[in-house]
Amino acid sequence: MSPRTSSPLWFALALGLLALGLGYATLTLQFGDLSGHWWQAAVSPDDASIRQIVMHYTFAPRLVVALLSGAALALAGCLMQQVLRNPLASPATLGVTSGAQLALVVATLWAPGWMLAGREWIALIGGIAATLLVFALSWKRRLAPMVVVLSGMVVGLYFSAINSALLLFHQESLSGLFIWGSGALAQDNWHDTRFLLVRLAIALVLALPLLRPLALLDLEEEGARSLGISLRKLRFAALGLGIFITACVVSAVGLIGFIGLASPAIARLSGARTLPQRLVWSMIIGALLLVVTDLGVQQLSPFTASMLPTGAMTAALGAPLLLWLLPRLKIGGSRPTPATGLTLPRRADPQRRLWLLAALTLIGALLSLVLGFMLSGSGAHPSIAGPADWGLILEWRLPRVATAAAAGLMLAIAGTLLQRMTGNPMASPEVLGISAGVAIGVIALMLLPLGIAPLSGSVTGFCGAAVALLVLVVSNRRSGFAPERLLLTGIAISSLLDAMRAIVLASDDPRAQQLLSWLGGSTYYASLSSSAWIVVIALALFALTLPLHRWLTLLPLGAPTAKALGMDVDRSRLLLLTLVALLTVAATLVIGPLSFIGLMAPHMARLMGFHGARHQLLGASLLGMLVMILADWLGRNLFFPYQLPAGLIAALIGGVYFMWGLRRL
């Protein structure tokens, strides 16, 4: 149905009817014994009826909080999209929600007294910090829509990695906060309802004077300036209001993903043309969307061991929505060029530098085996392992170093293949969502009632990687695999992993802690036998990749040129993608889905002057091993006797590198 013949009214009516049906089913399921007295229980319960009191303080406020939260996030998303002239802007895609959560986590751990000033102000500081970082990353490209959204989603992923690190150290202190942070709308009083109602009313009053100048932003910037509008002040006011609304929702109910993106997009696509129309219909659709999702979650509760977090479910629904919207919404902004300024001039003697890099990698591996900390009666102290400590090295340190090196080798090769095959300098298994696809397959194996057989994790992981690659190809084939769209598709796939991770962490599953360690990239569970297998697999895949250097030399020249030189482009790409999937599965199963080694190693190889395909493959492989060995050593010794996963250390380093590379894009 085209926008001219459709109306948001019909979509809102359909959502309203669905909400009424789910609401009736939920009331029947939970409070069927009060049938005929539901209205009385919701408005004025009988003090002598415990069931009416329970419904009055649980179901009724939860319903109202869902309506208010959905409307507030839709208002924030509509303001952000209008002021940035970006149909993909929202509190989730701009990293505002992740920044707000990180600020609340930090305040909970180290400054709990600040909470007395109001949770929304702590969350507001985090949201502003995230927004400023997004603007810093995208300012060079004049806030081009795709670059703004890509920067926001990268910042969100990075803040999530920091949150995961804090959770590993302070699990007992933060477990309740992270369950809440998954977007739990469960209520036991009317406090959050009054809190959100007052702040939404204030936001609406403040938004009214901004409507007319914001509507003029549909013109070009020069036209808006000629009418006397101060764009800087207008953007500051509108974005500040959007961040404040988001901070209030996050402080009250936690992270609710993608409502702020979906509601304005649906309103626009269904026929809301002017800004006031989009604002009103976005709020109505947002409120109904969140209510429908939350009521659906309550309907699923009898079939799950614990209540699913509503925020995680909206994120799981929002990622496919983002993938569906990408080809349908016209997005301005120039495309980045393949050259990012991250390479140095070619140098002679790459062979000598390869031998030097191999020597450094070997020295790093030996030092990580012998240098460390030991516990004694006086506490922890540095030590150098000697011949008497051979058992310690062989049983504990060698498997972890070998596993980290093999994972770094495979991710570096996969990243090099992707970057040369797509001509995209920011491509890697982690960034394009292939590693997330592996993790989704493994988590699905854990969550679904399937029989677990040997190698089942590898099979489901490979299926997840294959599906992620298929989604990447289908979603970007029409756009010619434009780098920014490709990256945004990958990050949308990664957001599905975040949703599944939140669901697992919010559950009472005893395997959640082990899963969290694996998601962080832990080598804790490495043994001599498992490390031997992963080293053999890594060397075998590396041997298969080296003869393909001619393909990797021709593909960056473009498909027509490669075909003219006698290359079967389709067959070669299919084989390379299969190799990427195998490398990513093997590495992710032992080191987790987010390390950014696949992004860093090929760039670092080019920085060292390895430009030829063969030399870049070898250089990136050695660098990947060296970085992962260093990350594993830091994880074991930085906070000894406490340990951080090697993949998480690499992600914290690689996330900074990714943002630096994005700043130069």
Please give the residue that has the higher pLDDT: either 155 or 490: 155
pLDDT tens for residues 537-555?
Answer: 999 999 999 898 888 888 8
Residue 268 reports pLDDT greater than 60? yes
Stretch 455-479: mean pLDDT, rounded?
Answer: 78
451 shares its domain with 537: yes
Give the mean pLDDT of 573-589.
87
Whether 147 and 255 map to the same domain: the answer is yes
pLDDT score for 450: 53
In a domain, 481, yes or no: yes
Mean pLDDT over residues 462-478, rounded?
Answer: 82
pLDDT on residue 663: 67
Same structural domain, 409 and 551: yes
Question: Which is more confidently placed, 409 or 216?
Answer: 409
Work out the burial of residue 292: count CB atoms within 10 Å of its CB; fewer than 13 is exposed, 13-18 middle, 19 or more buried.
Answer: buried
227-245 confidence digits (pLDDT tens):
666 677 888 888 889 999 9
Cβ-based neighbour number of residue 236 at 10 Å? 12
User: What is the per-residue pLDDT for 305?
Assistant: 56
pLDDT above 90 covers a percentage of the chain that reads 25
What CATH number corresponds to the domain at position 202? 1.10.3470.10
What pLDDT digit, counting tens, does each position of 586-631 carry? 888 887 777 778 888 898 888 788 888 899 999 999 999 999 999 9
Residues 363 and 306 in one domain: no
Kindly state the average pLDDT of the residues 141-146: 69
| pLDDT(579) > 50 | yes
Residue 280 in tokens = 């009103």
Residue 455 placed within a domain: yes
Find the mean pLDDT for residues 365-377.
Answer: 82
**Average pLDDT for the chain:** 81
**Both 444 and 552 in a single domain?**
yes
Rounded mean pLDDT, 441-447: 76
Same domain membership, residue 392 and residue 261? no
Residue 332 lies in a domain: no
pLDDT tens, residue by residue, 308-328? 778 777 877 777 776 776 666
Picking from 303, 220, 318, 219, the residue whose alpha carbon sits closest to that of residue 260 is 318
Confidence of residue 483 (pLDDT cuts 50, 70, 90): low
Please count the structural domains in the chain.
2
Residues 407 and 489 in one domain: yes
Residue 642 within a domain: yes
Query: How do residues 83-117 score in pLDDT, each as one tens digit?
Result: 888 777 888 878 888 888 889 888 888 888 887 77
Residues 412, 365 within the same domain: yes
Between residues 309 and 59, the one the model is more confident about: 59
The residue whose two tokens read 């951080």 is 644
Nearest to 55 by CA among 68, 69, 44, 66: 44
Q: Do 395 and 281 have their domain in common?
A: no
| Position 633 in a domain | yes
pLDDT for 78:
93
In terms of Cα–Cα distance, which of 474, 498, 495, 499 is closest to 486?
Answer: 474
Query: Domain span at residue 106?
Result: 8-325
* Distance in angstroms (rounded) separating the CA atoms of residues 384 and 367: 9
pLDDT score for 65: 95
Q: State the Cα–Cα distance between residues 507 and 501, nearest whole angstrom.
A: 10
522 in any annotated domain: yes
Residue 517's pLDDT band (boundaries 50, 70, 90)? Answer: low
Predicted local distance difference test score (pLDDT) of residue 111: 84
Q: What is the structure's pLDDT at 225?
A: 64
Give the residue-averaged pLDDT of 281-289: 94
Alpha-carbon distance 258 to 76, whole Å? Answer: 11
Q: Any idea how long the chain is?
A: 665
Residue ranges in 170-230 assigned as alpha helix (H): 171-181, 191-207, 211-215, 221-226
pLDDT at 4 exceeding the cut of 50: no
pLDDT score at 665:
57
Give residue 3's pLDDT. Answer: 42
Task: Name the DSSP letter for residue 335.
Answer: P
User: Is residue 511 predicted with pLDDT exceeding 60?
Assistant: yes
Specify whether 299 is located in the same domain as 409. no
Place of tokens 């294959």: 466
Given a cut of 80, whether residue 203 has pLDDT beyond it is: yes
Per the listing, tokens 């939970």 go with 30
Contact assessment for residue 153 and residue 659, using Cβ atoms and an 8 Å cutoff: no
Pick the more confident residue, 329 or 344: 329
435 falls in which pLDDT band (50, 70, 90)?
confident
Residue 364: what pLDDT?
92
The DSSP secondary structure of 235-252, one letter per residue, reads: HHHHHHHHHHHHHHHHHH
Give the pLDDT band (50/70/90) at residue 180.
Answer: low
Regarding whether 24 and 104 lie in a shared domain, the answer is: yes
Assign 583 a pLDDT band (cuts: 50, 70, 90): very high
Query: For residue 435, is it within any domain?
Result: yes
Q: 520-536: per-residue pLDDT in tens?
A: 677 877 888 888 999 99
- Cβ neighbours of 519 (radius 10 Å): 26
- What's the rounded mean pLDDT across residues 430-447? 80
DSSP letter for 432, please.
T
User: Domain for residue 346, yes or no?
Assistant: no
Residues 467 and 610 in one domain: yes
The pLDDT of residue 219 is 65
pLDDT above 80 (res 330): no
DSSP type of residue 395: I
Read off φ and ψ for residue 306, nearest 5 degrees: -145, 165
